[in-house]
Amino acid sequence: MFAELTHELFSQLATAKYVKTEYRISVYGSSANDWKSVAEWAHDFDLYSPDNMWMVQIPRIYTVFRTRNVVQSYGDVLRHVFEPLFAVTMDESSDPKLARFLRHLGGFDSVDDESRPERELSSEYPLHRSKSPRSYTHILCAAELSILNMARRCDRYSLGAVSDGLRLAIRE
């Protein structure tokens, strides 16, 4: 149903001369297969348009995953989010559907319930015990994106990151 609605919106975009969009989709980091599922969905339903770039939002729900023993640390979430991207950057033939999706990816956004007060960043913060401060997760994701963008520059693609209104890297 979502794919059908997206196609309808793409049709409307095609008739609008100066309208571009960034539709959002979530990658949770709970599994190494998150990206494979997204890429297959986009491929199977042909969810690409020259007028749209996908924005991947990474919900900050690590505590839910940790409580349910889906992941053991925030490092697991980072691995699930970034390792598939590095793998397909180094060898696009390893996952052609994900390689194609990345060419239509405009950036990342970290999403959270921002109505709750933020904890201060601390060098002694126990990542494995509770929710990490937003600023800490942003730093870790920005570092991963920076390295990934360096690797992707040879293909003329870099993946943007938007967080708290700050664009950390832009599509070239």
Domain parsing of the chain, residue ranges: 22-114+125-169
pLDDT at res. 131: 56
What residues contact residue 52 under an 8 Å CB cut-off, 6+ apart?
Answer: 10, 13, 20, 21, 22, 23, 104
Assess whether pLDDT exceeds 80 at residue 55. Answer: yes
Assess whether pLDDT exceeds 70 at residue 162. Answer: no
pLDDT digits (tens, 9 = 90+) for 109-158: 888 766 666 555 555 545 544 556 667 777 888 888 888 888 887 665 55
CA distances from 166 to 73, 112, 160, 163 (A): 26, 16, 10, 5
State the pLDDT confidence band at 163, using cuts at 50, 70 and 90: very low
pLDDT digits (tens, 9 = 90+) for 60-80: 888 888 899 999 888 899 999
State the pLDDT confidence band at 83, using cuts at 50, 70 and 90: very high
State the pLDDT confidence band at 170, using cuts at 50, 70 and 90: very low
Query: Can you spell out the DSSP letters for 47-98?
Result: ---TTEEEEEEEE--HHHHHHTTS-SSHHHHHHHHHHHHHHHHH-GGG-HHH
Pick from 36-40, 86-90, 151-155: least confident: 151-155
